[in-house]
């Protein structure tokens, strides 16, 4: 279940990244295996974070349930007000699913505090539900922000490489500087290459015989036949290429 949820989060992030560039993941040949590999990395992060967070929330629940009734009511009112504001912001900016998860987290936490007659197992379930929801919100929001940040970098004409967590890559996107070289002497192809000669071009991938290029100068995505053009790609990830002016 965790892997399925995280896979959905990652697939949504890929869709957000490419939609910002006027494309879809299918346009650049994004494969199921790449998304699944990133989901495995995020699922591992989820598994590492959620249990420790659940322990912390369990401790917080116990502390709040031990408060005098008056102080507890004040604390819960503050919690509800803050949660309402956070829910509104999350729903407007991150979508209603995120707002719904946040609402479920608050309800579970509230129930865990108010139900003092719950057995220990009930409190543990409430803490686990809150921890799972918060971890999901953290991962989905973080990956979504990564997608927006990377898309904005490409729009500025900056090259990008996948963010890494140790040796695990969870969001595999690349955009490297490139240029058009006509493979034929076609007047149309020559004119097209000359028109984009001084543009900031970034190579995104190849799919179905089409080169996928983002023109940061014109702020548009280009899909050109691979049979008609060759592209020289500067790999800015390597140490030797970082002295290249196009990698700055």
- Kindly report each contact of residues 154-158 with a partner whose C-beta sits within 8 Å and lies 24 or more positions away, as own/partner: 154/21, 154/202, 154/204, 154/214, 154/216, 155/20, 155/21, 155/214, 155/216, 155/219, 156/216, 157/200, 157/202, 157/216, 157/217
* Global pTM value: 0.72
Calculate the CA 95 to chain-centre distance.
14
pLDDT at 48 over 60: yes
If you compute the radius of gyration of the chain from its CA atoms, what whole number of angstroms results? 24
Binning pLDDT at 50, 70 and 90, where does residue 219 land? very high
Residue 142 burial (CB count, 10 A): 15
Per-residue pLDDT of 151-176, as tens digits, reads 999 999 999 988 766 666 778 888 99
pLDDT of residue 88: 56
Per-residue pLDDT of 188-217, as tens digits, reads 888 888 888 889 999 998 888 899 999 999
Query: How far apart, in Å, do the first and last CA atoms of the chain sit?
Result: 42
């Amino acid at each position: 279940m965790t892997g399925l949820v995280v896979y959905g989060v990652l697939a949504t992030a890929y869709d957000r990244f490419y939609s910002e560039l006027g494309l879809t993941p299918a346009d650049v040949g994004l494969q199921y295996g790449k998304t699944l590999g990133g989901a495995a990395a995020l699922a591992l992060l989820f598994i590492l974070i959620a249990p420790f967070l659940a322990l912390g929330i369990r401790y917080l629940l116990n502390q709040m349930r031990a408060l005098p009734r008056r102080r507890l009511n004040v604390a819960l009112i503050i919690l509800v007000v803050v949660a309402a504001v956070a829910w509104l912001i999350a729903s407007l900016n991150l979508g209603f699913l995120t707002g719904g998860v946040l609402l479920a987290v608050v309800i579970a936490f509230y129930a865990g505090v108010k139900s003092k007659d719950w057995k220990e197992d009930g409190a543990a379930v409430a803490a686990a539900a809150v921890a799972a929801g918060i971890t999901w919100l953290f991962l989905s929001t973080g990956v979504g922000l990564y997608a927006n940040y990377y898309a904005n970098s490409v729009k500025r004409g900056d090259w990008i490489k996948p963010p890494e967590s140790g040796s695990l890559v969870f969001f595999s996107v690349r955009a490297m500087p490139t240029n058009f070289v006509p493979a034929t002497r076609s007047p149309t192809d020559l004119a097209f290459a000359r028109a984009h000669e001084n543009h900031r071009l970034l190579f995104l991938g190849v799919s179905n015989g089409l080169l996928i290029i983002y023109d940061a100068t014109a702020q548009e995505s280009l899909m050109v036949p691979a049979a008609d053009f060759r592209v020289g790609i500067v790999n800015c990830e390597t140490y030797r290429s970082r002295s290249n002016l196009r990698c700055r």
